[in-house]
Homo-oligomer: A and B are copies of this chain.
Amino acid sequence: MNDPTTPSADFDLQTFLPYLLNQAAEATSQSFQATYRTAYGMNRTEWRVVANLGKFGTLSASDICRIAHVEKTKVSRAVLALEQRGWLRREALENDRRRENLTLSTAGQAIFADVGQKAIAFDRRLRARLGVAAAEEFTRALRLLAAEDP
C-alpha cells in the first residue's frame, strides 16, 4: 500500500470526510431553515440564540458563544435583531457591568416552543431515515469529530 516507489492513489473529493460532512450539513440545515426563516424571518444564528435561551432560560452573550460555538460578533448582531423584534430582553448585571443577562420574552418563548417542536419532529425524521440505532452511533461520531483538537 505504501510502497514509496509507486505514486499513491489520486485524491477523490467524493470520499473526503470534510466534504461529505459539509454536504450533509448543508442539506439538512438548508432544509430545516425554511421552518424558522419563512415563519419568523430568522437566520441561523438568531435561531441558535433562541434555542439556547429557550433551553437554559438566561444566558449572557459570551455564554452563548461558548455553548453554541458562534462568533461573538454574530451573537451580538443576532441579539440586537431579536431584541428589536421584541423576542428577547437584556438585563444589566450589578456585579459585573460588562455583561448582560439575556432572556426570551413571552413572544420569544412561544417562537421557541413552535420552532422547537418542529425541530424535534424534523430530527426524528432524519433519525428514522438512518435507523434509530445507527443514528445513535452516528451522533457519537459527529461529537468525536466536532471535538476541538484534531
Q: Which A residues are within 8 Å of any B CB, using their own CB?
A: 1-3, 6, 8-13, 15-29, 31-32, 48, 51-52, 54-57, 68-69, 112, 115-117, 119-120, 122-123, 125-127, 129-130, 134-135, 137-139, 141-148, 150
Cα A125 to Cα B10 with chains together (Å)? 17
Chain A, interface SS category: helix
Contact B123 A145 (CB under 8 A): no
Given A18-B29, A57-B6, check contact A126 B138 (CB 8 Å): no
Chain B CB within 10 A, most for which of A18, A27, A51, A55: A18
How many copies of this chain are found per oligomer? 2
Partner pick for A138 among B6, B112, B138, B146, CB 8 A cutoff: B138
